[in-house]
Copies of this chain bind each other. A is one copy, B any other.
Amino acid sequence: MDNQTETKRHFSFGDFYSKLGPLVALIVLIVLVSILNFSFLDPLNLLNLLRQVSINALIAFGMEFVILTGGIDLSVGSILALSGAFTAQLVLMGVPSFIAFLIGMVTGGIFGALNGVLIAYGKAAPFIATLATQTIFRGATYVFTKGNPITGAKMSNNFGFQFFGQGYLFGIPFPVYIMVLFYILAFILLHRTTFGRKTYALGGNPRAAFVAGVKNNKMIIWIYTLAGFLSAVAGMILTSRLASAQPDAGVAYEMDAIAAVVLGGTSLAGGKGKMFGTLIGALIIGVLNNGMNLLGISSFYQQIVKGIVILVAVLLDRKQAKA
């Protein structure tokens, strides 16, 4: 009976995938695309790619926490749109863009907190609660914008406002800095603080976590707040990049974020996954989109390819829990 546990877990490809697989998949993908089209490796293209990835990555960082608790957030795209519309309106009203961004992000956090309250205290299943708020926030965005994009000279002639999503610092797009910054913060929060440990515990076994002193409800609210906040940050980038707040911005973004998280090896059942994986997952999706564009694959086939890539990655990671 002594050291049986040593050899207990035999080598499995699934195990391997969830540890290193996403990275390997990303590298294979990059090599493949580069061979098929040299201009992929052009530094400028890589910078573009990173900027394109930043929005999905930011949302996915928040989604990672949510999914680790065994939850899901379908409302991120709507939160992105609504907070973007608020910020745009504030800028048009003459509020300095820095303040407007801050307010936008905080608003996003508040919407997220609302999700959290519904799930924690309302005991609503996350899927259905956030499906409902997705609709509500989207409707609110339409009402707020009256269905029209919000734009104006105060936005398009405002350096500070434009810089957030369009600017370059030392030749690197500013959104890339934001993505890296929040990656580091999210990484520390998840892997180095008690908040992260409690997130895992909650996803692994909420009842056991509660008995061990985790305040489940409080944690859930904070986690959805974080997801809302990060979606709003992504919303700021998008609004700035387009110099316009689109009422239908972010539709279906939750799906790309969830796909990034899952491609990164995180289990939808909760309790298992790494922030690094999610970053890689977002990059895989970004490289796929960018690469297929560069290769001139028609958008119809792009969808098929993307679906198959997700499927293959998930099938390799067989350790996904219950049906």
Contacts of A258 in B (CB 8 A): 127-128, 131
Of residues 60 through 102 on chain A, the ones whose CB sits less than 8 Å from some CB of chain B are 69-72
Q: Which chain A residues (288-323) contact chain B, with CB distance < 8 Å?
A: 299-308, 310-311, 314-315, 318-323
B323 touches A139 (CB 8 A): no
With contact pairs A128-B268, A255-B131 given, residues A302 and B216 touching in the complex (Cβ less than 8 Å)? no
Chain A's interface size range is 35 or more
- Chain A residues 139 to 163 lying within 8 A of chain B, measured CB to CB, are 139-140, 142-143, 147
Interface residue A132 (Cβ < 8 Å from any Cβ of B)? yes
Residues of B close to A311: CB separation below 8 A: 118, 124, 129, 132-133, 136
> With a CB–CB cut-off of 8 A, which chain B residues contact A305?
139
- Chain B residue numbers with a CB within 8 Å of A320 are 123-125, 128
Contact B323 A216 (CB under 8 A): yes
CB distance from A264 to the nearest CB of B (A): 12
Asked whether, in the complex, the Cβ of B268 is within 8 Å of the Cβ of A125, the reply is yes
A232 at interface, CB cutoff 8 A: no
User: Taking the complex as formed, is A112 at the interface, i.e. its CB lies under 8 A from any CB of chain B?
Assistant: no
Q: A307 and B135: CB pair below 8 A?
A: yes
> How many copies of the chain does the oligomer comprise?
2
Among B123, B124, B300, contact of A142 (Cβ-Cβ < 8 Å) = B300
CB distance from A13 to the nearest CB of B (A): 12
A263 and chain B: residue at smallest CB distance: B128
Flag if B125 contacts A321 (CB, 8 Å). Answer: yes
Q: Which residue of B lies closest to A217 (CB)?
A: B323
Known contacts: A119-B323, A123-B320, A202-B323. The answer to whether A259 contacts B304 by CB under 8 A is no
A47 in the interface (beta carbon within 8 A)? no
| A120 close to B (CB within 8 Å) | yes
A280 within 8 A of B: no
Tell me whether A304 and B136 are in contact (CB under 8 A).
yes
Across the interface, A135 reaches (CB within 8 A) one of B120, B131, B216, B304, namely B304
Counting chain B CB atoms within 10 Å of each CB, the highest count among A70, A311, A319 belongs to: A311
Chain B residue nearest in CB terms to A147: B300
Q: How far is the CA of A303 from the CA of B251 in the complex (A)?
A: 14
Q: Does A246 contact B (CB under 8 A)?
A: no
In the complex, A206 Cα to B269 Cα: how many Å? 15
**Complex partner residue of A269 from B125, B135, B302, B310, CB under 8 angstroms:** B125
Closest to A321 in B: B125
Tell whether, in the assembled complex, residue A302 and residue B139 are in contact, meaning their CB atoms are under 8 Å apart.
Answer: yes
How many Å lie between the Cα of A90 and that of B9 in the bound state?
A: 52
- The distance in angstroms between the C-alpha atoms of A238 and B126, with both chains bound, is 31
A220 located at the interface, meaning its Cβ lies under 8 Å from any Cβ of chain B in the complex: yes
Query: What residue in chain B is nearest A219 (Cβ atoms)?
Result: B323
A166 to chain B, nearest CB (A): 30
Sample (25) of A-B pairs whose CB atoms are under 8 Å apart: A70-B322, A120-B323, A124-B315, A124-B320, A125-B262, A125-B269, A125-B314, A125-B323, A127-B258, A128-B258, A128-B259, A129-B311, A129-B314, A131-B255, A131-B310, A133-B311, A135-B307, A136-B304, A136-B307, A136-B311, A139-B300, A139-B302, A139-B305, A143-B301, A206-B322
